[in-house]
Amino acid sequence: MSLPIIDDIEKSQMKTDLPQINVGDRVRVEAVITEGKKQRIQPFEGTVIEKKHAYSRESITLRKVVDGIGVEKTFSIHAANVSSIKIVKAGKVRRAKLYYLRNRKGERATAVKAKEV
């Protein structure tokens, strides 16, 4: 049980221009990376395998396969270092968490049915 004042503070820190992200979607997240004094934007595109809700602490976990090795990265959606989030392809899945993709290899590791629009 959280206090109403804490909820109000967290709601004020949330971004408002985010798309509706669902598990199974193919998403491109552009994060700001600081190296010394320089900053650059690094994109990470992958399938959303997990989504956690908690006001300003909302996060998503993306998975992609690079040279046959699975790479997962968790992003806090409302963090300052996340500059933009774009949905590349909407997915249609029947589970809340797609952990079973970790055991898949090849094309099956990325295969998620696309939603009919």
**Average pLDDT value for residue range 79-83:** 92
**47 found inside a domain:** yes
pTM exceeding 0.75: yes
pLDDT of residue 88: 95
Which of 42, 70, 72 has the alpha carbon at shortest distance from 60? Answer: 72
To 5 degrees, how large is the angle CA 23–CA 25–CA 28? 120
**77 found inside a domain:** yes
Number of domains in the chain: 1
Is 117's pLDDT higher than 60? Answer: no
**38 found inside a domain:** yes
Cα–Cα dist 90/94, whole Å? 13
**76 found inside a domain:** yes
**87 found inside a domain:** yes
**28 found inside a domain:** yes
**40 found inside a domain:** yes
Task: Quote the domain boundaries for residue 30.
Answer: 20-95
9-51 pLDDT, tens digit per residue, is 888 888 888 999 999 999 999 999 999 999 999 999 999 999 9
| CATH code of residue 87 | 2.30.30.790
pLDDT of residue 116: 57
45-68 pLDDT, tens digit per residue, is 999 999 998 888 899 999 998 888
Q: Which helix (H) or strand (E) holds 52?
A: strand 38-52
**114 found inside a domain:** no
